[in-house]
């Protein structure tokens, strides 16, 4: 006798009872981009619904997202002044530090992760100090200033540090620096498998971080390499990372599943700007049912093994979950 799978599908209540993967508001981390000034809320053309905001507008956004049950954000800074080493992010009055303090003063329960990198702060757009001979990032010199940046974030009140520069040894460096400065309980979410992806294009519009020359393939991962991707993440686990990540997510669900099967640590999927923009513009053009495709995509990340998702869809997803 053949198996009748439809027995578990015909009744809606039974379908819901046997559903294997469920999205909740606790799954999402919402990216926010802060810049200098007041009363600034500028939409990014390539990413409808995503804004560069001044601190006062960030506070308004935090008030709203808290009201819909979204209490986890990741902050990115956009400074007015950039230089060769990104020195603006190394001072205790940096745009990120001031934003953390302002949010925590008004919304102490907001969970703030901070992106730790230099591409938004350097005048060349690369993720650290350049080696003039190789014309790529000097790994070890960048580790030194990354530790300084982590301490700035920690002192300002960040709840989690998320280093995204793909420097070898970054987790060990940050863990040592944080521990030695009294932040032993501050977790690190490693951008442990971050590919040199074309899906990042719109992010460079909102973060103003396009490299002035070349690309980032000398330090970010080759998208063709699955086994190396696993080794990258497992090395970050050995160095003391608390959460691992796959970025981007949509074209790398195989890596997400492989990583989920290889570690007991929580795994984060970063649903990046290009993935978001494709769905947004397709929805605006009437090519897809945007809300259904969005939720199906987010569910796919969880089904592939993600415990949490950094996504620009987070606010809309929480609004939809409220309607159910």
Residue 127 annotated in ligand binding: yes
Q: 104 CB contacts (<8 Å, ≥6 apart)?
A: 110, 112, 157
Q: What mean pLDDT comes out for the span 170-187?
A: 97
Residue 91 annotated in ligand binding: no
In angstroms, the Cα distances linking 190 to 136, 171, 239 are: 22, 7, 10
Is 93 domain-assigned? yes
Higher-confidence residue: 250 or 125? 250
pTM: 0.94
Is 9 domain-assigned? no
- 194-234 pLDDT, tens per residue? 999 999 888 666 656 666 655 677 778 999 999 999 999 99
pLDDT given at position 206: 66
Residue 216 annotated in ligand binding: yes
Is 3 domain-assigned? no
Domain containing residue 170: CATH number: 3.20.20.70
Enzyme catalytic residues: 194, 247
Is 167 domain-assigned? yes
Is 6 domain-assigned? no
pLDDT over 80 (residue 65)? yes
Q: How far apart are alpha carbons 118 and 129 in whole angstroms?
A: 9
pLDDT given at position 207: 57
Q: Which domain holds residue 204?
A: 22-323
CA 87 to chain centre: 22
How confident is the prediction for the chain on average, in pLDDT?
Answer: 93
Higher-confidence residue: 235 or 125? 235
> Over pLDDT 90: what percentage of the chain?
78
Is 63 domain-assigned? yes
In angstroms, the Cα distances linking 111 to 47, 73, 231, 248 are: 24, 6, 29, 22
Q: How far apart are alpha carbons 271 and 59 in whole angstroms?
A: 24
The region of weakest confidence among 130-144, 180-194, 244-258 is 130-144
Is 267 domain-assigned? yes
pLDDT given at position 67: 97
Residue 89 annotated in ligand binding: no
**Residue 123 pLDDT level (bands cut at 50, 70, 90):** confident
Is 14 domain-assigned? no
pLDDT given at position 208: 60
**Residue 166 pLDDT level (bands cut at 50, 70, 90):** confident
In angstroms, the Cα distances linking 74 to 29, 34, 169 are: 6, 11, 22
In the chain, how many domains are there? 1
């Amino acid at each position: 006798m053949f198996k009748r799978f439809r027995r578990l599908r015909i009744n809606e209540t039974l379908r819901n009872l046997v559903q294997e993967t469920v999205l909740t508001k606790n799954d999402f981390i919402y990216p926010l981009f802060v810049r200098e000034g007041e009363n600034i809320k500028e939409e990014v053309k390539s990413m409808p619904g995503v804004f560069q905001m001044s601190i006062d507008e960030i506070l308004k956004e935090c008030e709203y997202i808290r009201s819909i049950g979204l209490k986890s954000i990741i902050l990115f800074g956009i400074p007015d002044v950039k230089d060769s080493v990104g020195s603006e992010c190394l001072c205790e009055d940096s745009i990120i530090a001031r934003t953390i303090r302002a949010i925590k003063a008004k919304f102490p329960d907001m969970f703030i992760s901070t992106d730790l990198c230099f591409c938004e702060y350097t005048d060349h757009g690369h993720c650290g100090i350049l080696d003039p001979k190789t014309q790529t990032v000097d790994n070890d010199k960048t580790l030194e200033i990354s530790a300084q940046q982590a301490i700035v974030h920690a002192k300002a009140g960040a709840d989690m540090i998320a280093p995204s520069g793909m420097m070898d040894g970054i987790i060990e460096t940050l863990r040592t620096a944080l521990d030695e400065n009294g932040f032993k309980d501050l977790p690190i979410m490693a951008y442990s498998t971050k590919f040199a992806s074309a899906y990042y294009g719109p992010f460079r519009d909102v973060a103003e971080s396009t490299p002035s020359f070349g690309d980032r393939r000398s330090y970010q991962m080759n998208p063709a390499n699955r086994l190396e991707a696993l080794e990258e993440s497992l090395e970050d686990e050995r160095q003391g990372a608390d959460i691992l990540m796959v970025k981007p997510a949509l074209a790398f669900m195989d890596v997400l599943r492989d990583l989920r099967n290889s570690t007991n640590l929580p795994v984060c999927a970063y649903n990046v700007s290009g993935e978001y923009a494709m769905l947004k513009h397709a929805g605006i053009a009437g090519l897809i049912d945007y809300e259904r495709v969005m939720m199906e995509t987010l569910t796919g990340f969880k089904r592939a093994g993600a415990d949490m998702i950094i996504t620009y869809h987070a606010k809309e997803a929480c609004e939809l979950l409220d309607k159910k």
